[in-house]
Amino acid sequence: MNISVLGAGAWGTAVAIALTAKNNVLLWGRNAASMQQIQVQRENIAYLPGHPLPSNLQISSDFDAAMHHARGENDLLVIATSVSGLRPTLMACQAFKPKNVIWLCKGFEEQTRLLPHQIAHELMGADVRTGALSGPSFAQEVAKGLPCALTIASDSTELCQLVVQALHVNAMRVYSSQDLVGVEVGGAVKNILAIATGVADGLGLGLNARAALMTRGLAEISRLGVALGGKAETLMGLTGVGDLILTCTGDLSRNRKVGLALAQGKTLDVIVQELGHVAEGVRCAQAVRALAGELGVDMPITHAVAGVLFDGISASDMIARLLSRDAKQETR
C-alpha cells in the first residue's frame, strides 16, 4: 500500500516508521531544509532524536509528490499536523482528490469548537473516506516498536479495514469503531485532564489525589461525549480511559509537563518556550470550557484548568477551588 504521512513532527515520524513495516511510505514536511537534513542524517533529530529511519522510508518536502504518492483507490493519506493545522492541510489536499484520509490530531478547533471529523466532513465531502486514528500512544515508544493498541474511527467500514491492514503488524494492534464523536472527545479532553494531574503531582498532593482527578475527569469526558452524541462505552475503551491513564501518568506526556510547570509557578509563555510548542491540552481547554457552558455540561476540572491557563488563577488556587466544591452523590 502507498501511504503519505503529512507532517514530520514526532508523532508523524513515529507513525511513518511503524507503517514502513509493510507499506511503501513517504514522510512529507513543509520545511525543505529540515527534510533534506532528515534525508541525509536518516533521523529526525529535531522532533524524534535517537530513532533511525528505515532505509525504505521516503523523505520529501514536495507536496505534489506526496499527494500523488497516495492517490490510488487503496492508498492512504495520513495527516499528522496539530488540530490547528488540520483545516489548512485538508484545504491543500482538496485539489488532489485523495480517496482515503485519516488524521492523528486530538482536540477541538479553537475558533469553531469543531472536532476534527467535522472539519473533514465540511471540507472533503462524502466521496472521500475519512477517519481518526487515536488511542494511548507515545511517539517514542511507537518508534521503538514497543507494544501499542490504537483505534481507527470512521463511518466507512472500507477505510477501517484499510487502516487495520496497514498498521496491524508486529507489536501494534488496531481496533475499529464507528463512534467518531466518542473517540475524538476522549482524545481531546484527556489532554486537559493531564494538565490537571500534572499540577497535582507538581504540588505534591499524592497518588490519591491523582486517582481522584483522573476518575472525576473521566466522568467529565463521558458527560461531554454523550452530550455531543458519542457513546459512553467508547469512553471506557482505548481512546477514553486508556488514553487518559497514559497521558495523566506517563512522563513522556507533554500536557502533564505543562501541569508540572504550572505548579512551579511558571507562566504559560515560559512553558511554551521550554517545550518548543504548545501542548494540545492548552489549545483545547478554552474551546471545551466554552462548549461545556453552551451545552450545560458540568466540567469543573476543565474549568479549573482553563482558569489557570487563561484567567490568572494560581495552580494552588485551582486545587483549593476543586476541593471546596460541595459534596454530592457520585454519578457520571
326 band by pLDDT with thresholds 50, 70 and 90: low
Q: Is the pLDDT of residue 331 over 70?
A: no
Q: Is the pLDDT of residue 19 over 90?
A: yes
Active-site option among 190, 231, 266, 328:
190
Q: Please give the pLDDT value at position 125.
A: 84
pTM value is: 0.94
> Across all residues in the chain, what is the average pLDDT?
94
Across 121-140, average pLDDT: 95
Q: Is the pLDDT of residue 235 over 60?
A: yes
Across 172-196, average pLDDT: 97
Whether 190 sits among the annotated catalytic residues: the reply is yes
Q: Is the pLDDT of residue 151 over 60?
A: yes
Q: Please give the pLDDT value at position 117.
A: 97
Q: What is the CATH architecture of 181-323?
A: Orthogonal Bundle (1.10)
Grid coordinates standing for 66?
A: 506526496
In which residue ranges of the chain is CATH 3.40.50.720 found?
A: 2-178
Q: Is the pLDDT of residue 332 over 60?
A: no
Across 177-201, average pLDDT: 97
70 band by pLDDT with thresholds 50, 70 and 90: very high
Q: Please give the pLDDT value at position 165.
A: 94
Q: Please give the pLDDT value at position 328.
A: 66
- As beta bridge partners, residue 173 has 149
In which residue ranges of the chain is CATH 1.10.1040.10 found?
A: 181-323
313 band by pLDDT with thresholds 50, 70 and 90: very high
Q: What is the CATH architecture of 2-178?
A: 3-Layer(aba) Sandwich (3.40)
